Each structure stands twice: as structure tokens, then as C-alpha cells.
Amino acid sequence: MSALEVNLDHTQGAFTLEVSFAAPDGVTALFGPSGSGKTTLVSLIAGLRQPRHGRIVVGEAVLLDTAKRFHLPPHRRRIGYVFQDARLFPHMTVRQNLHYGRDLAPADAVHQDESAIIELLGIGHLLDRRPAALSGGETQRVAIGRALLSAPRLLLMDEPLASLDQPRRLEILPYLERLCREARLPIVYVTHDVDEVVRLADTLVLLNQGRVLSCAPVETVLGDPALQRLTGRHEVSALLRASVQGPPEDGVQRLAHPAGMMHLPVANGLRVGASERLHVKARDVALATGSVRGLSIRNRLTCRIVRIEPQAGVDVLIELDAAGQRLASLITKEALVDLALAPGQQVVALIKAMTLARASDR
């Protein structure tokens, strides 16, 4: 059964949104360029705008069905909404802001464990402060806590990191990762950052000019040329699945991939035997035609060239098959000629950088 079903037809000024998708449980990222309709879509789900026609179902609850003239008002939809700017009440302490969320929960809602949410978001030491005395990242964590305490059936997060600088983003991402992993409710997460999609989401809804270009597991959409067109060539990337081998040694975790052993620096060891997803950007993959000696790059996978696709400018995109998994490499046309690469040829992919992505079975 789908956790979220959305069918909407909406016009505002010259912009028309016509979307239809069904997302499974877990985290659904809404991804698309500026002006593609992401905020419009989440505000329609929240009930803050009224579509011309539409139907929205969360789990078994129908929130909107225009064919039956049924519109649940926003305050009865039980949706937690986290905005780009946190919108905390400035005159209330963090604790009072959280309790405001808790008091919105309907009497018959499943009781939310307040201390577990405070612990999850790492905001226990902030409870007596007012929003003016919080950093941007702390403010957003409190806003998420307030939304969770209202016992929502769906959590909507509209670019919660957009107003933060890079260090604050990196500080809050681990909290979001934990939340996305442990939350027992569907989450819709708006972003235009592929890194956030890969770290947080299970399903990706790709939006452009008010239309859904695709709705599929993140792994599938990452290889979709439509995503590449919307993000620009430098964002072409792939997810590799590898299994955790033993405890880390000197802070390096070994992961077995069918095309070769991978080595990943980690702060904490991963569960031995777990299947993890590793995000690899095409620009971080170099190629060699034979065995390589005297090179510091340790992550080397034996691959076969599937396709060579010239890009605008000096680059070519090489699509690779890594023991049945897709990988991409961005190299220069000059390198392509020098190495005399051709489809079907065996090469060694040298992976210069990769990050741990969200694993569906963690």
C-alpha cells in the first residue's frame, strides 16, 4: 500500500501544476529546479492552498477529494510542516515552543515520547533558551521537534537546510539522517541538493515545470538522464551497494563490492554484514586501462564500458557496468582519445571520493 497518494490539478497565475504520484513508506524527496512547483505542491498537501481538482491520501486517511467535495482543513490534516525559516515563536522558550506542538496533537493520537524526540534532535540543553539565542541549525532542530510532537501522520519538510550555511548544514544532517531512519511516519522532503537526496531519501519524485518526470527509488532515478539534465553534468552520480566487512581498522571501514573491495573512512563502525549504499559522483571516478601501480587511490573496481556519451564542453560521460551495478565516470575527450576507450572494453574505475548514502535496510 502507498503511504502517500497525490493527484492534483492546480493553477496559480501563469503556473499550472498537474501531478500524480504514489510514494511508499519512508522518505520521499521532492526534487526539481527553482520554480518547478515544489513549495506549491507541499502547501497543497498541507491544505494551505486549494487545488482546482485533486485527491490526497495519507495511509488510510483521505485529506482531500474534490470529486466528493471533501476538503479537510489544514489544522485537521495532522501534518507536521517544517518551513525553510523555522517560524518558532520568539517570545516562547524552546520548551514552550515544543509544548505548543504537543498541544496541537489530537487527544486520541498515539502519545509522542517527548524525551525521545528531544534526545533524537540533540536539543535537551536548549530547552530554557529563546529562539533568538539559538544557532540556525539548532532553530531548525527545534522546529522539527515541534512538528513531531504534534503527532503528525505525515511530516513535510520544505528545504529545511536552505537558510543555513555549509557548516550548519553539515551539523544538522546527521540529526536528519537519524530522524529519517527512525521516524515511523512518512516524510516528504523538498530539496534541490542531490547530496541531501542521497543521504536522506528512499524515493525521489522529480518535478519540472509543474509536472512529475519520474517517481522511483533514489537508486533508479540517479541514473535517469532527466535528472542529469536538471542538475547539470557535474552531478551525474551512482549508488553502489556493498556489504560491510568486519570492524573498521584505523578508522577505515572495508566494504565488499562484487567488482572490488571498497575502503571508507568512518567515524563509527557500520553493522558487519549490512548492505550499504555508497554515493559516487561521476567527476570523482577516474579510469585506467590496465593495472595501476604507485597510486594513492585505493578504491578500484573492475568495470566494463557500456556507453560513451559526449557532453557539452571538454568532457565525456562514460557509463560503466560494475559487476551488474551502474557507475559513471566523467573524463575529458582528450583522455578518451589517449586511452582509446570503446564500449565493451574492460577498465579499472578509480574512485577518488564517495559518501555513505541512506541504506534502505538500515
Ligand X SMILES: Nc1ncnc2c1ncn2[C@@H]1O[C@H](COP(=O)(O)OP(=O)(O)OP(=O)(O)O)[C@@H](O)[C@H]1O
Residue 346 sits in the site that holds ligand X (CB under 6 A): no
Q: Check if the beta carbon of residue 327 is closer than 8 Å to that of residue 238.
A: yes
Closest to ligand X by CB, 24 or 35: 35
- Amino acid type, 342: A
Looking up cell 533568538 gives: 132
Residue 26 sits in the site that holds ligand X (CB under 6 A): no
Residue 11 sits in the site that holds ligand X (CB under 6 A): no
Per CB under 6 A, the segment of 31-39, 66-74, 137-145, 320-328 that binds ligand X is 31-39
- What residues from 276 to 315 belong to the interface with ligand X (CB under 6 A)? none
Cβ within 8 Å of residue 133, ≥6 positions away: none
Residue 32 sits in the site that holds ligand X (CB under 6 A): yes
Buried/exposed 16-28: b ≥16 CB within 10 Å, e otherwise: ebbbebebebbbb
> How far apart are CB 28 and ligand X at their closest, in Å?
15
Residue 39 sits in the site that holds ligand X (CB under 6 A): yes
> How far apart are CB 49 and ligand X at their closest, in Å?
8
Grid coordinates representing 208 are: 519540472
Q: Which of 26, 37, 131, 152 binds ligand X (CB under 6 A)?
A: 37
- What residues from 177 to 206 belong to the interface with ligand X (CB under 6 A)? 192
Among the listed residues 201, 186, 88, 190, the one whose alpha carbon sits nearest the alpha carbon of residue 145: 88
Closest to ligand X by CB, 13 or 265: 13
Residue 40 sits in the site that holds ligand X (CB under 6 A): yes
Alpha carbon distance 255, 242 (integer Å): 6
Query: How many CB atoms sit inside 10 A of residue 106's CB?
Result: 9
Alpha carbon distance 276, 248 (integer Å): 14
Residue 13 sits in the site that holds ligand X (CB under 6 A): yes
Closest to ligand X by CB, 66 or 208: 208
Question: CA angle 104-110-111, nearest 5°?
Answer: 70
Residue 231 sits in the site that holds ligand X (CB under 6 A): no
Alpha carbon distance 115, 145 (integer Å): 10
Q: For ligand X, how many residues bind (rule: CB under 6 A)?
A: 12
> How far apart are CB 37 and ligand X at their closest, in Å?
4
Contacts with ligand X, residue ranges (CB under 6 A): 12-13, 15, 32, 34-40, 192
